[in-house]
A and B are shown apart, each in its own frame.
Chain A
Amino acid sequence: MSAPPPIRRRSAGEWARANLFGSRLDTALTVLFTLLLAWVAYRLGRFVLVDARWEIVERNITNLLVGSFPRDQLSRLWAALFVLAAALGFGAGAFGAQRRREVAEGRAEALPRGGIRRLVPLFLLVAVLLWFSGTLEPALLVLGAFGVGYGFNLLGQRTPRRLERYVPLVVLAGVLAAFLVVAAFGGVGWNLWGGFLLTVFLAVAAILLSFPFGVLLALGRRSSLPAVRAVCVAYIELFRGVPLITILFMAFFMIGFFLPEGVDAPSLVTRAIIGFTLFTAAYVAEVVRGGLQSVPAVQVEAAQALGLSPFKTTTRIVLPQALRAVIPGLVGQFISLYKDTSLVFIIGLTELLAVAQNVTKQPDFLAQGLYVETLVFASFVYWTGSYWMSRESQRLERRLGLGER
């Protein structure tokens, strides 16, 4: 191994000359952009700190987060948050330990550790939400949830090696348990969920439901049977060729027409989930197809040479390798889904964006044009989640060494 090239530290002056005042054009651009950015920062800062009337968000913070969720059942949500924190903390711990061992054994390349900085967008979101809530109780509960998450993180790091393969299952079970804590045992069905809770629920439910469907579609599209291929291609291209809103319209206006007599049409939230699932499955199928194509043909040939049946070849040889490669793509799909849930506002569901619109019609705030305040708040919530996930997905991509093959 050769030594890395020597690094010469540059002084601030040298850096500025190279990066800001390299040429006359650069100098002009620097001056222009300094003025522009200063103006934008001034306007934004002035709005956020001085002009904005944040009391509309402050007074409605619970509405924005959970919509019309029954207030006497809120403790269930907190319990679910603790369960989620435990499951995700455990998963992150186990995953991190596995990763460190791979690096130590030289099977994977070490990445610069982001450490706590990676969680900054999330901390920012939680901090802002807590600030708007204005009371101490939520802050303590959130701290508790973080504590539980950290505890289970430590526990996850001690997962014995032979149990490691069950970690994803445990995490999934945790997510399901969190759902049951809220909805089951005399709890609140999802028809009463709203706000940010509904946003997240729609995105998670749709990605989980569309995943198996998408994998089947992708396999069908790569099938050697022409009839199967044709049907799958038709489905994928049809659903990718039309806007999401038309599919949601279909799920809302048309579902009653599709059902035989005597079957009741499902609730609005269920219809939204059906629409999102049908739509996302087509995109997931394309992501998975990319993964399937990345599996070298010799793998299939080797499996055939060993006498594995086509079914076993697919489930034991091809899919495990393909699905590992598509994780970043699936995260990307989840991010678009997370943003696209805002569309259900058009059909009258009260997720985050809808609540942000509706609260401006409250008697205290009516006709005062407080749209900007609530929209900025909604944008901030969407932005932090989406930005954080896209960062993590990029990291995952580097970790899996994709794009370097």
Chain B
Amino acid sequence: MTAATASTTRRPPFWRNVRVLRVAFQAVFVVAVAGFLLFLLDNVVYNLERRGFPTGLDSFDYLKQPAGFAIPDSDFRSTQSLGDALLVGVQNTIKVALLGIVLATVLGVLIGVARLSTNWLVRKAAAVYVETFRNIPVLVIILFWYLGVMIRLPPIREAVEALDLVAVSNRGIVIPWFDQVGGGAAFGVVALVALAAAAGVWVWRTRRFDRTGEPHRRGLWAGAVLLAVLAVGFVATGRPWTLDTPEVGELSTSGGFRLAPEYAALLIALSLYTASHIAEIVRGSILAVPRGQAEAAGALGLSGFQRMRFVVLPQAFRISVPPISNQYLNLVKNSSLGVAISYYEATKVTQVSIAQSAPAVQAIALLMAIYLAFSLTIAAVTNLVNRRLTLRGRA
């Protein structure tokens, strides 16, 4: 049919030929956008040179300058370079983001399930939580935890201690931590062996279940093997770790692992805020699983827990992966608000660097590139997970 029409119609003149028009329009568009960007770039270069900043290949030389500021709660000295400072900042961003993601997920899933509880009180309490935290700016929550809670804790002399394990004061929260006293490498080998053994047991139990149909209890088996090997290895390698509990001194605490007030405030606020969003996603995903699935499971005689564990949650999980990873992304981006309470993550370091005469254009462009890299990483991981989880269409 196309051949017939082509032979009977005349070729249109080139200014009405859609193909030509498409190419021409795109060419004009690209030239306009490129021209605008070049105009901006030209201005930037001109303005930078006027203010005495290096441009061209030397643009990022400022990263080698000495920083001139110290970063609290790190080994960073003011004589180190601005580039090193930024690296410490990125590490701090990762530190708060990773733990925040874990906490927000745990809390969010709990609250999301609680919103669907059969218990009226639990349901309403979860709803109030979600509606409260979703409708307040995250910056306000961060400031509240910092100004309203952390720095109002008792001073270090009157630090509150619980069971000699946790010490809470306005200098931070100290929790017990492991202290290495020797033989770390040997124990590392033991840990690898333990993991391998657990994986082997897992596979064996799964195969046995496939063959015989008897309950596999592979989680239990693998966990027991892992713990047993680790315990034996721990003693055999001469107990390389001890538990280090906090000691409260006159002016500071020693021992244990100290969460600085800024870090603790940012972590708690981000977790609480993101959890309220994750809870809504979890609730929505569970509701999105067709009700017939749970009813069918009930008809097969599965208990309430089994219905959730084996029928509803696996399907809900698949639905919730993309929106939840979006929330992880938001959490990473919101960690930049640590700048408001002087937690030295990437944004705060950049802000201070600019105040210390780093060129604003390069510093902010670099900061945006860092966050873009975070975003792309999370997006890539999500896509990977998502591809494994998507249902293959029926043949």
Contact = CB atoms under 8 A, between A and B. Distances in A.
- The prevalent SS among residues of B at the interface is helix
Given A33-B125, A260-B43, A379-B144, A231 B333 contact: no
Contact of A379 (B120, B136, B367): B136
Contacts, number: 152
Nearest to A260: B43
Given A254-B361, A386-B135, A243 B334 contact: yes
Contacts of A245: 336-337, 339, 347
B147 interface: yes
B144 A387 contact: no
Nearest to B373: A241
A152 B376 CA distance: 51
Nearest to A259: B43
Contacts of B351: 249
B119 A22 contact: yes
Contacts of B43: 257-260
A211 B277 CA distance: 25
Interface string A365-405: 00001011001001100110011001000000000000000
A382 B143 CA distance: 14
A64 B60 CA distance: 42
Contacts of A257: 43-44, 47-48, 360-361
A242 interface: yes
- The prevalent SS among residues of A at the interface is helix
A375 B364 contact: no
B106 interface: no
B135 A383 contact: yes
B30 interface: yes
B123 to A, nearest CB: 8
A141 interface: no
B2 interface: no
Interface in B111-137: 117-122, 125, 131-132, 134-137
A246 B125 contact: no
**Which of A19, A22, A249, A340 has the largest number of chain B CB atoms within 10 A?**
A249
B46 interface: yes
B152 A369 contact: yes
B368 A246 contact: yes
A104 B257 CA distance: 67
Interface string A1-45: 000000000000000000110100010011001101100000000
A99 interface: no
Nearest to A31: B121
B139 A343 contact: yes
Contacts of A357: 143
Interface of B: 22, 25-27, 29-30, 33, 39-40, 43-44, 46-48, 117-122, 125, 131-132, 134-140, 143-144, 147-148, 152, 333-334, 336-337, 339-340, 347, 350-351, 354, 360-361, 364, 367-368, 371-372, 375-376
Interface of A: 19-20, 22, 26, 29-30, 33-34, 36-37, 224-228, 231, 238, 240-246, 249-250, 253-254, 256-261, 339-340, 342-343, 345-346, 353, 357, 369, 371-372, 375, 378-379, 382-383, 386-387, 390
Given A242-B372, A342-B137, A353-B137, 8 more contacts: A19-B119, A20-B119, A241-B371, A242-B371, A243-B333, A243-B336, A245-B339, A375-B148
